[in-house]
């Protein structure tokens, strides 16, 4: 099968922009704190006081990301979402249910040591430690569209390796039909797991799942970095899943367990609201979320209020050519 | 004492209200338009103005219980201003949704209003609030006479609809909207006799 992955010819121009944005990051974090305070003044105080008080007093020392060696992507026709936005607009409820909270609350997250286990229906169970994540496989750049179920999207240059490479190494048995993924459960480090208000009322640890053939698809990526560096914690450090043809909630972050199983697992959002979130969660403009349309999306690129684009959402987020065959003869309205 | 007479107190209150209502809005749009302060400024401006409108609506409803309890009759003189600012925030909330989120895709807007219960409820509340804002003009108030009070009692319906709109709009973070439902109920319980009599409005006053 021929896989077309949209990539960049030369990243020089982007690199320059990145550095500028990078230089602005310190002030950026400070400003985030300022907005919090300003927002607080205009609201009735109650609910947010705790978090913002904490961050106005303490200066957030950004998590240290390290540069990675990787094979650059070849060509890319899409405008990338700036690094500063990719790393400050996150759905990672373990660090707060509001989009700006993970960037603030995750900076002290410890990723070393780390252990990712591959277990269940495999002939050779594997445990990867922190260094293994970056050394066991060749790291390549993949520029993917990320479509959130909330109808916004980004274009992100991920670094990582195909999940298939890891699974092949573990050798799934004949019984393996599904793959279950689990995020770290550590309420001491992840305030959303110990505080219901921060955690947005979902159950922890966060669990996601894929069918084995979805997991083995060459597009399915285990990401260890973005924009040339290791992942910041708000984006799911040190290792996360990226499934570009599915809604963002499938792309589970800060992975500690990958387990091969016989039966379809229950994924977190589906368990919470079965009518609103399915197991498959393939990006599909024809199947609306009960509370909003999925026919179009807002692409988050650079700039402020007036530079937002509403664009049409494509079936399978534009990756139909690579993945539509996985769902032949399936009613995608029933299996949303 | 400097602010001894009520006229002066009202003036001071009005200055405070104008400042407290307008400054955050100016700050919000300045930041949303100029710098990359928010990764997604669209959602930020929608949520900020939405919650602002709700806050102002609750404050508006707090005026008469406060005036009664503390015997501060002059407070009633700033109630209209607060109500109008609530409408102003709600107007911006809707404008932000149409202009920046839907980007003037009116077909989509029409579909969303019909299909999404939380938007339907929000639009009903906004339509009623618009009616109240328009009829807050003095000459219309005089013209409407008794009907005016009846019309403006719909503020209780509006606040309930707004609370539902907020509760239905969130994904799973139910704590904040639940607190708002609690505050709404509290403000209705404080005036339970009036609300009850409105519910059985067939009876003579």
What single DSSP character describes residue B101? I
Q: Which residue has the higher pLDDT, A306 or A70?
A: A70
Substitution target from A27, A42, A87 for chain B, most B beta carbons within 10 A: A42
Contact between residue A258 and residue A181 where contact means Cβ atoms under 8 Å apart: yes
A196 touches chain B (CB under 8 A): yes
Arithmetic mean of pLDDT, B97-118 = 93
Contact B175 A293 (CB under 8 A): no
Residue of B nearest to A290 (CA): B116
- With a pLDDT cut of 70, the percent of chain A lying above it is 82
CA distance B141 to chain A (A): 31
CB-closest option in B34, B111, B175 to A304: B34
Residue A27's pLDDT band, with cuts at 50, 70 and 90, is very low
- Look at residues B73, B60, B50 and name the one whose alpha carbon lies nearest to residue B17: B60
For residues A87 and A90, give the distance between their C-alpha atoms in angstroms, rounded to a whole number.
7
Instruction: Say yes or no: A274 contacts chain B, CB-CB below 8 A.
Output: no
Residue A76 has what pLDDT? 83
Question: In this predicted complex, what is the ipTM?
Answer: 0.83
Q: Note whether residue A187 is domain-resident.
A: yes
What's the mean per-residue pLDDT of chain B?
92
- The number of distinct structural domains making up chain A is 1
**In the predicted model, what is the mean pLDDT of residues B90-105?**
95
Percent of chain A with pLDDT over 90: 75
**CB nearest B35 (choices: A152, A304, A308):** A304
pLDDT at B92: 98
Within 8 A of B175 by CB-CB distance, chain A residues are 47, 196-197, 201
Which among A99, A150, A305 has CB closest to B32? A305
pLDDT for B171 equals 86
A22 to chain B, any CB pair closer than 8 A? The answer is no
The yes-or-no verdict on residue A130 having pLDDT over 60 is yes
Find, among A331, A326, A118, A148, the residue nearest to A244 by Cα: A148
- pLDDT digit string, tens, across residues A134-189: 999 999 999 999 999 999 999 999 999 999 999 999 999 999 999 999 999 999 99
Q: What is the domain range of residue A235?
A: 13-327
Contact partners, residue B193, CB within 8 Å, separation at least 6: none
At A271-327, the pLDDT tens digits run 999 999 999 999 999 999 988 999 999 999 887 888 768 999 999 999 999 999 999
Over residues A66-82, mean pLDDT: 91
pLDDT (tens digit per residue) in B27-56: 999 988 886 567 888 999 999 999 999 999
Is A332 within the bounds of a domain?
A: no
Domain ranges of chain B: 2-196
**pLDDT of amino acid A185:** 98
In terms of DSSP bridges, do strands A126-129 and A115-120 run parallel, antiparallel, or are they unpaired?
A: antiparallel
What CATH number did the domain enclosing A109 receive?
Answer: 3.90.420.10
Residue indicated by tokens 């200066």: A59
Cα B155 to Cα B90: distance, rounded to the nearest angstrom: 14
Q: Does A202 touch chain B (CB under 8 A)?
A: yes
């Amino acid at each position: 099968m021929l896989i077309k992955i949209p990539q960049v010819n030369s990243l020089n121009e982007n690199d320059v922009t990145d550095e500028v944005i990078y230089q602005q990051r310190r002030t950026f974090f400070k400003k985030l704190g300022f907005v919090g305070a300003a927002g607080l003044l205009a609201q009735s105080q109650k609910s947010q006081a705790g978090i913002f008080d904490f961050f106005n007093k303490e200066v957030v020392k950004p998590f240290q990301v390290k540069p990675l060696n990787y094979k650059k992507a070849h060509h890319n026709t899409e405008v990338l979402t700036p690094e500063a936005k990719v790393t400050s607009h996150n759905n990672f409820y373990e660090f707060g249910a509001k989009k700006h909270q993970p960037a603030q609350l995750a900076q002290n997250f410890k990723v070393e040591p780390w252990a990712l286990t591959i277990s269940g229906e495999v002939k050779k169970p594997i445990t990867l430690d922190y260094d293994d994540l970056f050394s066991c496989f060749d790291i390549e750049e993949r520029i993917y569209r990320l479509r959130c179920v909330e109808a916004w999207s980004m274009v992100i240059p991920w670094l990582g390796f195909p999940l298939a490479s890891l699974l092949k190494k573990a050798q799934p048995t004949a019984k393996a039909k599904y793959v279950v993924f689990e995020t770290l459960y550590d309420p001491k480090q992840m305030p959303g797991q110990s505080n219901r208000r921060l955690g947005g009322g979902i159950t922890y640890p966060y669990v996601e799942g894929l069918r084995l053939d979805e997991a083995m698809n060459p597009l399915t990526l285990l990401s260890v970095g973005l924009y040339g560096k290791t992942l910041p914690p708000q984006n799911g450090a040190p290792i996360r899943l990226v499934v570009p043809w599915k809604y963002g909630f499938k792309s589970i972050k800060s992975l500690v367990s990958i387990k091969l199983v016989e039966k379809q697992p229950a994924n977190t959002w589906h368990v919470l609201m079965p009518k609103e979130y399915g197991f498959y969660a393939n990006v599909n403009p024809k199947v609306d979320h009960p509370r909003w349309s999925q026919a179009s999306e807002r692409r988050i690129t650079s700039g402020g209020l007036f530079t937002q684009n509403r664009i049409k959402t494509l079936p399978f987020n534009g990756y139909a050519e690579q993945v539509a065959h996985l769902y032949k003869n399936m009613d995608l309205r029933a299996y949303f | 004492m400097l602010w001894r007479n009520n006229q002066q107190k009202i003036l001071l209150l009005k200055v405070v209200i104008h400042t407290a209502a307008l400054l955050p809005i100016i700050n919000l749009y300045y930041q949303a338009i100029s710098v990359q302060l928010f990764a997604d400024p669209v959602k930020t401006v929608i949520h900020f103005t939405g919650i602002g409108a709700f806050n102002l609506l609750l404050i508006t409803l707090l005026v008469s219980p406060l005036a009664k309890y503390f015997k501060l009759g002059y407070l009633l003189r700033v109630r209209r201003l607060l109500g109008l600012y609530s409408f102003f925030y709600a107007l911006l909330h809707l404008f932000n949704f149409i202009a920046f989120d839907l980007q003037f895709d009116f077909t989509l807007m029409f579909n969303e209003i019909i299909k999404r219960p939380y938007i339907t409820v929000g639009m009903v509340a906004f339509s009623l609030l618009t009616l109240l804002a328009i009829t807050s003009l003095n000459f219309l108030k005089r013209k409407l006479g008794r009907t005016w009070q009846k019309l403006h009692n719909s503020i209780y319906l509006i606040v309930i609809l707004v609370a539902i709109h907020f509760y239905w709009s969130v994904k799973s973070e139910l704590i904040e909207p639940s607190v708002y439902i609690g505050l709404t109920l509290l403000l209705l319980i404080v005036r339970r006799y009036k609300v009850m009599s409105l519910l059985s409005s067939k009876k003579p006053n």
